Amino acid sequence: MTHSPPSFHRRTALALGAAAFTRPGFAQAATALPCPSGPGEIVGLMLEGTGAPAGTVTVFGQAFPPGHVPRGAALRARDTNGRESPAQLDVFAVHADGSARLGVVSLAPPAIGKGQERGVMLMAGAGGSPAPLDIAAALSGRSAVLELASAGGQVWRLDLLAAFRSAPADQAWQSGPLAVQRRVAVAVPADSLAGVTSLRVVADVALRSDGTLWTEVWLRNDAAMRPGGGSASYGVRVLLDGREAMRTGLLHQWQYTGWGRLLAADHGKPAAEPPRPRHDTNYLADAGAVPRYSMSSGAVDRALGQLARQVAEGNWSAPLEARGITRAMPSTGGRADIGPVTQPQALWLGTGDQRAATVSIGQAEAAGSVPWHMWDPSVNGWLDVKKWPRLWVDSRGGPPPGGLMQNVSGDTGWTPDTAHQPDLSTVPFILTGRRAFLDELLAQSAWNIISLWPAPRGEGEANVVRGVQVRGAAWSMRQLDNAAWAAPRGDRTGDYLRGVAASNWAWIRAQIPEWTRRQGEAHGWIPGEYGTPGAIAPWQQDYFVSTAVLSARRGNADARAVLDWMENFIAGRFLSGDRGFNPHDGCAYNLAMWPENQPQSPFNTWARIGQETRARNMSNGNGWSTSDGDYGTLAIQSLTLLSEVTGTPRARAALSWIQNAGAPYTAPAQRAGSQFDIAPRDAAGGCRVPARGTR
């Protein structure tokens, strides 16, 4: 069948490839992403050439709104010259109607010159049964071996391809004509590691139609609740087609951590780098996958340059390195790794820049080194309170079932903390489709529950909001909601976290009548623990808004009800001057909200809140003395999100006020490049996502 060249609509977008690493001062080049216009067209993307031969398979993740890829539909791909390329879609998460929510896309495009770009349109086609990849032929003459050498010199070998052959085909991550990927998970024998029983090899092995062999090998020292767990010392070598693809020196790996690398070979030589995809991230935002960013300033270019230097100057390639993640997570300040996403991820989403992609993906790998990975081999999932209702992974939890069989070592160099935790994995997982990043997301999300003291959490319950810092509730709910949205059905931890996320949103919604009664005309703020007696931090409410908006945009009715309720406070703090509350205090560091010794009796009028805030010297007065930070930016973020989701005149009026009030660091150029500089829908440009059923 032949097709005439499509008349793709176009939009201006910001993109930058790997060439930017060697072209100082080159910020973002305006290019055109194709927009869907014809029947069956779903979303456009851009492929940046690497000089790889025609047919080199590129693999990436893609999110879809409900109904865009119906159950059983196939995927087609056509470039702006009208040429179709082989395409494969493996769906691992679906919407309620069975249509695709998240999947892994494989494309085999024509050759694209290094640094050149080519627009591609993804289209829905009739389902079929294309001839699958001939696995026997693809494996012929190939080899993939992992060697693990203990500190004593003993070598243990794992034949990855033999394990691949025996892995269940019906559990494959990819299975089609372009790529087949299966998981290999093997416990390292304790007698190879001086009796350590907690180390596992988890490898995702893939064969592709271009003849390349890919393996993402992770060493996960995370098995919990069994005798013999502890730190492990070893060196690793991986051989692909007889060629050494990776070698380490002797490593010391603490329990509850992991590290991994993605490796590839082409019949004994290094595999060509596939074309790099650049997503239509505006489409991803409309699908509820990510926040919306649009970045194009000198400040953004400087931030991207800093990311390039971070990779070039640091010990970037070493296993178990932090790669710019703050190890002491309780640390405060303007950190690049805290927010709805991290700053590198925001820059990646907002610009498509390869420098930001490199750091974001690198930090998703480095997330493995945080000691929040507790694997329960008995259930083939991460530790949960379904099996361990009293579990608290703090050393004060005592022996099992109250605590871990081996406590987290105090010498890891990491101090995980729910109130200051970054989300290092969701965006890289969505954009790359790498299964290991889903592991990271699920491990961290499950840890958010068992890291809480069971008294406020509830024994056998998983309430991550009640009685905790609101910023901790915001980021814990962010993790739970992202995991619930992304994980495949049937995954034990994913199903567990879906239930936990739903119960937490339902609990918050159920508190609204009582909270409203207590809070009165200033209602709309989430109660919690704060560092200053009798006060709340309004910027922590802004954190929670960013989480609630993401969940509401994914169709969560409870989150939307919570958001509608919060708007009264989030907008009202800038619109209640006629009620005795100073709008300058809307982004103050703290607000006086109840008598210091009566937390159950909050002040319930704007006038009283304003009066007490002034009396306790927390007020900005006519200036901004308590707002010297990102507090104004956070307010703009919340109101931008509210203006898009709820669309009320109050939200828009409050947004206009704070945007023009002159609060510190709220000018557009000062916010540029921040993970909190979320773009409004109409200002972000891009392709409009047609209503469901109009394609």
Same domain, 583 and 613: yes
Distance in angstroms (rounded) separating the CA atoms of residues 391 and 359: 35
Q: What is the pLDDT of residues 49-58, one digit of tens each?
A: 999 999 999 9
Identify the domain boundary among 106, 128, 150: 128
Same domain, 121 and 159: no
Same domain, 191 and 54: no
Q: Are 469 and 428 in contact (CB under 8 A)?
A: no
pLDDT recorded at residue 685: 64
Which pLDDT band, with edges at 50, 70 and 90, does 19 fall under?
Answer: very low
The answer to whether residue 426 is domain-embedded is no
Which pLDDT band, with edges at 50, 70 and 90, does 599 fall under?
Answer: confident
The answer to whether residue 39 is domain-embedded is yes
Distance in angstroms (rounded) separating the CA atoms of residues 537 and 530: 7
Same domain, 204 and 169: yes
Distance in angstroms (rounded) separating the CA atoms of residues 589 and 626: 6
Q: Per-residue pLDDT for 358 more than 80?
A: yes
Same domain, 237 and 113: no
pLDDT recorded at residue 5: 33
The amino acid at 647: G
Cα separations in angstroms, 330 against 292, 364, 421, 471: 27, 20, 8, 12
Q: Which residues of 618-647 are buried (b: 16+ CB within 10 A; e: fewer)?
A: bbbeeebebbebbbbbbbbbbbbbbbbbbe
Identify the domain boundary among 128, 151, 169: 128
pLDDT recorded at residue 13: 28
Average pLDDT, the chain: 92
pLDDT recorded at residue 684: 62
Same domain, 532 and 680: yes
The answer to whether residue 400 is domain-embedded is no
Q: What is the pLDDT of residues 182-207, one digit of tens each?
A: 999 999 999 999 899 999 999 999 99
Q: What is the pLDDT of residues 523-537, one digit of tens each?
A: 999 999 888 899 999
pLDDT recorded at residue 691: 53
The answer to whether residue 670 is domain-embedded is yes
Q: What is the pLDDT of residues 432-477, one digit of tens each?
A: 999 999 999 999 999 999 999 999 898 888 999 999 999 999 999 9
Same domain, 112 and 149: no
Share of the chain above pLDDT 90, in %: 85
Same domain, 578 and 610: yes
Q: Per-residue pLDDT for 683 more than 90?
A: no
Stretch among 171-185, 449-463, 471-485, 625-639 having the lowest mean pLDDT: 449-463
Identify the domain boundary among 93, 128, 163: 128
Cis peptide before 599 (omega within 30 of 0): no
Q: Per-residue pLDDT for 671 more than 80?
A: yes
Domain count, the chain: 3
Q: What is the pLDDT of residues 105-163, one digit of tens each?
A: 999 999 999 999 999 999 998 876 778 899 999 999 999 999 999 998 999 999 999 99
Same domain, 581 and 675: yes
Same domain, 659 and 559: yes
pTM: 0.94
The answer to whether residue 691 is domain-embedded is no
Q: Are 57 and 210 in contact (CB under 8 A)?
A: yes
Same domain, 545 and 637: yes
The answer to whether residue 391 is domain-embedded is no
Same domain, 16 and 144: no
For residue 50, give its domain range: 9-128
The answer to whether residue 334 is domain-embedded is no
The answer to whether residue 326 is domain-embedded is no
Q: Are 289 and 551 in contact (CB under 8 A)?
A: no
